[in-house]
C-alpha cells in the first residue's frame, strides 16, 4: 500500500499589528498566531485602552471648562463645532453634563445629537471614549440613545473631531428640562429620571469676569471652584505667596481652603459666607486674578512663611480623577 502523505495545514498569513481587528478575548487572534486574542494582540490593545491620559481635554477650546463640566457642574450644555461640519440630517451637536437614564449620547427625533460628559468610561482616555460615542451618535437612528462601549485603541479623539478654534461657551442651567423638548410626551422613565436629577442639582453659576470659575450654593456655605490652566507646581507656589501675604481671600469672610486635582489641572476652592452670591464675587475674583498673575511671574525662592503656606495647601489637595 502506498504511504499516505502527511497532511499539512496552510499557514495563515501574518498581519501587521495595525491590521489586526478587535475580536472577543477568548477567540483565536486574527493575526494567525494560534493563540487566543487576549494572550496575543488583545494584550497590547488592553494596555493601550487602560493607559491613563492625564489631561484628556488638552488642546480643546475651553479645556478648563471641560474639566469643570465633567467634575463640578450639575447641569450645563455647550454647542459643539465639528471640524468637518455637521453631517446631513444632524442640525446640531450639544455637549451636556448628564443625560436621562445616564445615556452616553442621544440622537433626538429631529436628528440633533446630545453627548453626555459625566459618564463612566471604559478606557483611560476620556477623550477617545467620548469621540467614539459621538461618532456613533452622528449615524444613529433618530430617536434612539447610544450605549457605551470600549472604544478602539486607535480610534479618533475629541481633538480629531472638534474644531480646534471653535467657541466653547457653557450655558449653566438650573435643572435638566433641556432633556425633553416636549415634557408632556416624555416617557415615565425619563420623567422620573428628570425629577431625581433636578432634586440633586446644586445651584451653580459661572462667573463672567474670569475664565472657568464656578460659584455654587450649599446648605451651610457657598463655594467658588476655579479651574486653572497653570502648571500645578507653579500655581501652588503662587497661591502660597498670596496666602502668606494675606492676599489669597476673595473678601471678608472668604477663605482659600484647598484645591482639587482633576484631569491634569488644579482647581482652587474658596469657602464663601452663605449670603455671598455669584454677582458679589465677580469683582473680588477679577482682582484676585490680577494678584495671581503677579505671583505667577515671581522668580524668587519661597520664604519660610510661604513654604509653610504651600505645605498647608498641598495637604488640603483632593484628587478627583
% of residues, the chain, pLDDT over 70: 88
pTM above 0.85, yes or no: no
Average pLDDT over residues 120-134: 93
Contacts of 210 (CB under 8 A, 6+ apart): 226, 285, 286, 289
Half-sphere exposure of 119 (CA within 13 A, CB side): 27
Per residue in 83-110, pLDDT (tens digit) is 999 999 999 999 999 999 899 999 999 9
**In the prediction, which pLDDT does 287 show?**
98
Average pLDDT over residues 69-74: 97
The span from the CA of 55 to the CA of 72, in Å, is 16
Q: Which of 50, 20, 24, 22 is nearest to 33 (CA)?
A: 20
Q: Which of 283, 297, 171 is nearest to 234 (CA)?
A: 297
Average pLDDT in the chain: 90
With residues binned 3-state (H G I as helix, E B as strand, rest as coil), the percentages for the chain, rounded to 5, are 35, 20, 50
**In the prediction, which pLDDT does 51 show?**
79
The string of DSSP letters for 40-68 reads: THHHHHHHHHHS--S-TTTTSTTHHHHHH
Q: Name the pLDDT band for 18 (thresholds 50, 70, 90).
A: very low
33 C-beta neighbours (distance < 10 Å), count: 16
Q: Name the pLDDT band for 8 (thresholds 50, 70, 90).
A: very low
Per DSSP (E only), the strands in the chain are 76-79, 93-96, 105-107, 113-116, 144-146, 171-172, 204-206, 213-217, 222-226, 255-262, 265-272, 317-319
**In the prediction, which pLDDT does 50 show?**
60
Per residue in 145-178, pLDDT (tens digit) is 999 988 998 999 999 999 998 889 999 999 999 9
The span from the CA of 148 to the CA of 103, in Å, is 8
Where are the alpha helices (H) located in 93-230, listed in sequence order? Answer: 126-138, 158-161, 188-200
Q: Are β-strands 93-96 and 105-107 bridged in parallel, bridged antiparallel, or unpaired?
A: unpaired
**In the prediction, which pLDDT does 3 show?**
47
Q: Are 170 and 78 in contact (CB under 8 A)?
A: yes
Q: Name the pLDDT band for 1 (thresholds 50, 70, 90).
A: very low
The span from the CA of 209 to the CA of 47, in Å, is 43
30-39, 128-137, 150-159, 277-286: which range is least confident on average? 30-39
Average pLDDT over residues 194-222: 94
Average pLDDT over residues 200-222: 95
For CA atoms 125, 78, 172, 180, give the dihedral sign.
negative
Is the pLDDT higher at 154 or at 76?
Answer: 76
Residues shown for the chain: 321
Is the pLDDT higher at 231 or at 10?
Answer: 231
- 3 state DSSP class of 5: coil
Amino acid at each position: 500500500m502506498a504511504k499516505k502523505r502527511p497532511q499539512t495545514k496552510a499557514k495563515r498569513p501574518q498581519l501587521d499589528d495595525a491590521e489586526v481587528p478587535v475580536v472577543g478575548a477568548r477567540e483565536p487572534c486574527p493575526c494567525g498566531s494560534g493563540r487566543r486574542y487576549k494572550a496575543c494582540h488583545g494584550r497590547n490593545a488592553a494596555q493601550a485602552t487602560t493607559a491613563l491620559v492625564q489631561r484628556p481635554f488638552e488642546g480643546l477650546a475651553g479645556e478648563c471648562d471641560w474639566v469643570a463640566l465633567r467634575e463640578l457642574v450639575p447641569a450645563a450644555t455647550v454647542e459643539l463645532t465639528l471640524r468637518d461640519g455637521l453631517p446631513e440630517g444632524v442640525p446640531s451637536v450639544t455637549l451636556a453634563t448628564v443625560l436621562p437614564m445616564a445615556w452616553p449620547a442621544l440622537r433626538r427625533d429631529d436628528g440633533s445629537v446630545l453627548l453626555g460628559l459625566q459618564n463612566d468610561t471604559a478606557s483611560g482616555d476620556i477623550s477617545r471614549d467620548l469621540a467614539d460615542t459621538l461618532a456613533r451618535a452622528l449615524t444613529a437612528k433618530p430617536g434612539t440613545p447610544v450605549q457605551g462601549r470600549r472604544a478602539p485603541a486607535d480610534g479618533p479623539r475629541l481633538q480629531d473631531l472638534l474644531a480646534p478654534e471653535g467657541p466653547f461657551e457653557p450655558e449653566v442651567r438650573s435643572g435638566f428640562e433641556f432633556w425633553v423638548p416636549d415634557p408632556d410626551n416624555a416617557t415615565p422613565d425619563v420623567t422620573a429620571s428628570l425629577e431625581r436629577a433636578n432634586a440633586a442639582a446644586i445651584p451653580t453659576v459661572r462667573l463672567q469676569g474670569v475664565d472657568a470659575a464656578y460659584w455654587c450654593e450649599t446648605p451651610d456655605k457657598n463655594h467658588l471652584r476655579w479651574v486653572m490652566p497653570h502648571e500645578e507646581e507653579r500655581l501652588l507656589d503662587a497661591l502660597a505667596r498670596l496666602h502668606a501675604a494675606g492676599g489669597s481671600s476673595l473678601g471678608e469672610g472668604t477663605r482659600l481652603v484647598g484645591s482639587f486635582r482633576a484631569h491634569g489641572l488644579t482647581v482652587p476652592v474658596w469657602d464663601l459666607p452663605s449670603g455671598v452670591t455669584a454677582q458679589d464675587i465677580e469683582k473680588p475674583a477679577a482682582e484676585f486674578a490680577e494678584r495671581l498673575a503677579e505671583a505667577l511671574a515671581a522668580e524668587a525662592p519661597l520664604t519660610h512663611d510661604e513654604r509653610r503656606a504651600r505645605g498647608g495647601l498641598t495637604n488640603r489637595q483632593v484628587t478627583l480623577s
